[in-house]
């Protein structure tokens, strides 16, 4: 029996059975999580299918989804630059956990950040290294802790929901932050208007084959608190993508303001560091 990864409660209510996947809601803290875990090694073998080259990653790509990803990463960097300015931070060392083929790191590197990535997909890492010349390796958080590396910014774009134990992972990640460093997290939002309208058929975030936890702003904040990241902030980052109806973008922005957009974005800071200051 899998316990709730946030509060370790045994009590939950059945919510969905989709094929062999069972998603339940914790009776104690409301976290949605996958009850039965498939074999991790097997499922990630075909996770990254890379059909493009580095030239295809631009604002007018022949692959519309790459145009969207290019634009999303540009807006992420824009937000990161704003944060850096607000925090008066000059630290440029980024660790991207779950960097995949390196698309975000490529954008970050072009913007002057010092980039490093880790992932479990050999196929994706090969692309990141060979196509973009990025520093990216098949290492775990524990490996980097042992190497005593520190980072100013650690990003997790749609990664936290893949972990079996997000609290445990975040506690380790905290050890990798330099003084004054912070994490930037984005996850699918299970309190979003999209999810509420389409239910468990929501393609934006419901992938029980890969996802282990399904966050709302409330349950993600609980996860951050339990990881020792008491000092966090929800970031308003409503992606406006090319070719979308302006009304759709405006509605998204409104939903983003009340934490009901498709994705949730949070930054969290080293609490000990804040207390010392």
Q: Which residues bind Zn ion (CB under 5 A)?
A: 4, 6-7, 9, 26, 28-29, 31
User: Least distance in Å: CB of 202 to Zn ion?
Assistant: 22
Q: Which is nearer to Zn ion, 12 or 106 (CB)?
A: 12
Nearer of residues 24 and 154 to Zn ion, judged by Cβ: 24
Q: Are 49 and 226 in contact (CB under 8 A)?
A: no
26 vs 95, beta carbon nearer Zn ion:
26
**Contact yes or no for 36/43 (Cβ under 8 A):** no
Enter the tokens of residue 50. 């890379």
Separation of CA 268 from chain center: 13
Contact residues for 55 (Cβ-Cβ < 8 A; gap 6+): none
Burial of 146 (0-12, 13-18, 19+ CB in 10 A): exposed
Q: Which helix (H) or strand (E) holds 170?
A: helix 166-174
Tokens of 244: 């979308």
Instruction: Output 161 or 194, the one with its CB closest to Zn ion.
Output: 161
Which of residues 21 and 25 has its CB atom nearest to Zn ion in the complex? Answer: 25
Distance CA 251, CA 203 (A): 19
Distance CA 149, CA 23 (A): 36
Nearest distance in Å: CB 264, Zn ion: 18
Q: How far is the CB of 11 from Zn ion (least distance, A)?
A: 8
Residue (180 or 228) nearer to Zn ion, CB: 228
Q: How far is the CB of 20 from Zn ion (least distance, A)?
A: 23
CB of 24 to Zn ion, least distance (A): 10
**Residues in contact with 109: Cβ distance below 8 Å, sequence separation at least 6, in sequence order:** 115, 132, 134
Distance in Å, CB of 29 to Zn ion, minimum: 3
Q: Are strands 177-188 and 151-157 parallel, antiparallel or unpaired?
A: parallel
Nearest distance from C-beta of residue 122 to Zn ion, angstroms: 35
Number of alpha helices (DSSP H) and beta strands (DSSP E) in the chain: 10, 11
Return the number of the residue (223 or 267) whose C-beta is nearest Zn ion: 223
**Is residue 30 a contact partner of residue 11, using CB atoms and an 8 Å limit?**
no
């Amino acid at each position: 029996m899998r316990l709730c990864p946030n509060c370790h409660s045994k009590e939950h209510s059945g919510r969905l059975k989709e094929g062999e996947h069972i998603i339940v809601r914790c009776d104690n803290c409301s976290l949605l999580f996958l009850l039965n875990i498939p074999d991790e090694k097997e499922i990630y073998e075909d996770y990254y299918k890379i059909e493009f080259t580095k030239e295809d990653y631009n604002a007018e790509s022949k692959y519309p989804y790459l145009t969207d990803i290019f634009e999303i990463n540009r807006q992420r960097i824009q937000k990161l630059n704003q944060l850096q300015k607000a925090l008066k931070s000059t630290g440029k060392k980024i660790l991207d956990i779950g960097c995949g083929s390196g698309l975000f790191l490529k954008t970050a590197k072009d913007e002057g950040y010092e980039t490093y990535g880790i992932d479990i997909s050999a196929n994706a890492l090969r692309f990141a290294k060979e196509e973009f010349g990025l520093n990216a390796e098949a290492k775990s958080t524990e490996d980097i802790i042992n190497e005593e590396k520190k980072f100013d910014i650690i990003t997790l774009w749609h990664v936290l929901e893949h972990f079996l134990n997000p609290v445990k992972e975040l506690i380790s990640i905290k050890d990798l932050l330099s003084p004054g460093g912070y994490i930037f997290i984005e996850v699918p939002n299970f309190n979003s208007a999209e999810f509420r309208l389409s239910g468990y058929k929501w393609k934006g975030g419901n992938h029980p084959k890969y996802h282990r936890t399904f966050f709302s702003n409330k349950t993600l904040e609980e996860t951050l608190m339990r990881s020792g990241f008491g000092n966090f902030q929800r970031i308003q980052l409503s992606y406006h993508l090319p070719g979308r109806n302006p009304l759709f973008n405006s509605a998204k922005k409104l939903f983003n303001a009340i934490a009901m957009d498709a994705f949730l974005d949070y930054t969290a800071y080293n609490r000990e560091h804040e207390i010392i200051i």
